[in-house]
Amino acid sequence: MNPANLQLEGLIMAVAAVNRLLAEKGLLTPGDIEMALKRAEARITSDDRFRNEDIRLANRDAMCFPIRVLLLANGDEDCAAAGFSELARRVGQTKQPFNDQR
């Protein structure tokens, strides 16, 4: 596996842990975290670069992948306790096509 992928995997899981801690400490609610992550995903999926710069939809999916992992990790206890591989599998199972992919 590419070392950069392993670094990103570690970073995603670290952010998930920080998000959980922020919620546990009462600084943010899980709903606040979910809203922030969904806003980030919305900015990516509505970005004009994908129309103007001929960036493939697969690249947009790749950009959204870490956000989707974090959304799952922010979910119920089963997801919060899951490892990266399990969360990645669930992202693949739950991914919906974008409006322009139908």
Q: Model confidence over 5-50: pLDDT tens digits?
A: 889 999 999 999 999 999 999 999 999 999 999 999 998 888 776 6
DSSP state letters, the chain: --HHHHHHHHHHHHHHHHHHHHHHTTSS-HHHHHHHHHHHHHHHHT-THHHHS---HHHHHHHHHHHHHHHHHTSSHHHHH--HHHHHHHHHHH----GGG-
Query: Which pTM value belongs to this model?
Result: 0.82
Q: Model confidence over 55-102: pLDDT tens digits?
A: 777 888 888 999 999 999 998 777 778 889 999 998 988 877 655 554
Beta-carbon contacts of 88 under 8 Å, excluding residues fewer than 6 positions away, are 65, 69
pLDDT for position 79: 77
Amino acid at 66: P
